[in-house]
Each structure stands twice: as structure tokens, then as C-alpha cells.
Structure 1
Amino acid sequence: MKPTRLWCAALCCAFLLFATGAGAQERPYKDGPVTIVTSIKVVDGQFENYMDFLNTSWRRIQEEAKAAGMVLDYHVMGAQPHDPDEADLYLVVTYPNMATFDDMDKKMDPIAAKVTKMSIKQQDEASGKRTAMRTILGQQLLREIVFK
């Protein structure tokens, strides 16, 4: 082999090694906890009734899920809506990761049944009755980006 070809081959190998090493670098962050934010519009005159529900059944369910490691934290946040169609309350629940959502119903149903002492059907009916107190406007899934 001629020296020029030998240098070219060595240079190509060096570039390949450099490109492979550069592509394998770790990102400076990792996926963190997942937060679900539920936007709620409370019906006029029903704020205290809905807060009573949140402070009893909903809160106890969150505490049980937290003790089981399925929930990291939860909050109820009041808001000042700018127009009548905006949320005035947000339910914020943080979960350890996306894997927590696998078979979530199977994990949460026993907790809810234990806390409320109601069957799944009764819980569903109770949820339907809460539409007199609030309207769920939507949910947002957020994932924290944790820098290393």
C-alpha cells in the first residue's frame, strides 16, 4: 500500500471512531416525574361543596396512593380566570414516572374502594353526580426534565 492510501485509511478510521464516540455521548438531562394537571370550572354556588369532596374522598385517595408509592405529591390550586370559560381550580398530581400509568385502574381501584367504601359502579355514579358541582375542562400531562 502506498503511504498516501495508508494515511487516508488511518484518517477515515479516526473519523469513524470520533463520530461513533460523539454520537454515544449522554444527554445532560434525564426524564423525571410526570405531572397531570386537571383544569376544573366550579359551578357558581358549589365551591364549598366541591372543596369538601376534595378535602375528604379525593384527598384520602391521594394519600393512600402516595403511601403506596404511586403518587409523589398532589395539590389543589385556585386560579383567577380571565373569562367565564377558563378554569378556576387545578388539581395537580405528580407521579414518579410514565410506567406508573401502566394498569393504573388496577392499582387505583382497590385504593378508591378502600377509602370510599364504594364499588367501582358506585364510584362512577358519584363522579357523575359531581358534574352538578364542577366541569372538567381538560387535562395536561407534563414531564419534568431533570438536568444531571
Structure 2
Amino acid sequence: MNKLQKGFAVLLLTVSGVVCAQELPYSEGPVSVVTRVKVMDGQFDNYMSYLQKSYRPVMEAQKKAGNIISYSIYDASPQGPSDADLYLVVRYANMASFDGLRQRSEPVALKVNNQTREQANEATASRAKMREILGSEVVRELVLSP
């Protein structure tokens, strides 16, 4: 390495060290999974009843087990006929919460609903007459520094 290359390497290491040492104006917060739901015509009350009787007890048990932080249900005003009119939001502590999540959460849900995996799959399929899942998105809260 010649003197110019050595000087450039030292400068690069110095600058990258300064950049790494600077604090970011935010920190990474909790992670949410936002599921977009289109409720079928005439099925809103039926779907809300399902959420009250089945979804809520499972989410409460998941909170108690430490698998989630919280959950929320949001009503929305769709802009078009194929837009979501309901959002299900589940908050997790961080991205690491997703490691092994199915192995931790599935037994909790099956126990709460007193179901086998096959029965749970059938129940999920039967809800298709009440709603269509349009998709899910994972978002992370960014908490601004004081």
C-alpha cells in the first residue's frame, strides 16, 4: 500500500468511527403487524361477535404468556370497494419476538379455544364467509429522541 492509499484508509476508518459514534435522533420501538380485513356485506356484526368471543380471549392469553404487548381493532372508511374496512393490529416488543413465535403462540391459541390444529384450520376457513384478509404489513415504531 502506498502512502496515499494508507492515508485514505485511515481517513475512512476515522470518518466511519465518527458516524458510528454519533447518536441517532430516534430509537427502534415496538413492532406491529397490521392486518387489513374486508368484512363481507351483512357480516359485520357476525365478525365482531367472533372477535369478541374467540379472538379476544386468544389475544388476552397471548399477552399473559408474554407473546404480545397489545392488540387493537380499528374501524375504517374504505375509499373503494376493495379496500379494508377493519384493521387488526398486534404489537410485539421487537423483531426478535418473531423468533419461534409460532411454537410459543399456537399452543396458547389451541388451549384457549379447546381445539386441535385441524379444528383451528377448519374454523379459519369457515370465517371466509364473514371476511377476506387483504394482507398484512409489519411496521416498527421509531421513537424520537428527547
Fold match (TM-score > 0.5): yes
Larger Rg: 1
TM-superposed CA distance for 1:130, in Å, is 0.3
- Return the letter of the residue paired with 2:103: K
2:93 alignment partner in structure 1 = 96
1:87 aligns to what?
84
Task: Identify the match of residue 57 of structure 1 among 33, 46, 54.
Answer: 54
Residue by residue over 1:27-72, the C-alpha shift from the partner in whole angstroms, topping out at 9 and shown as x without a partner, is 2322211011100010111111110110111111111111122211
Q: Which of 1, 19, 24 is the equivalent residue of 1:23?
A: 19
- The aligned amino acid for 1:122 is Q
Following superposition, the deviation at residue 119 of structure 1 comes to 0.6
User: Residue 122 of structure 1 aligns with which residue?
Assistant: 119
TM-score (normalised: structure 1): 0.84
Aligned length: 137
Q: Which amino acid aligns with 1:64?
A: A
Give RMSD over aligned pairs. Answer: 2.0
TM-score for the superposition, normalised by structure 2: 0.85
State the partner residue of 1:8: none
SS of the residue 2:115 aligns to: coil
**Which runs of 5 or more structure 2 residues have no equivalent in the other structure?**
1-7
Match of 1:35 in 2: 32
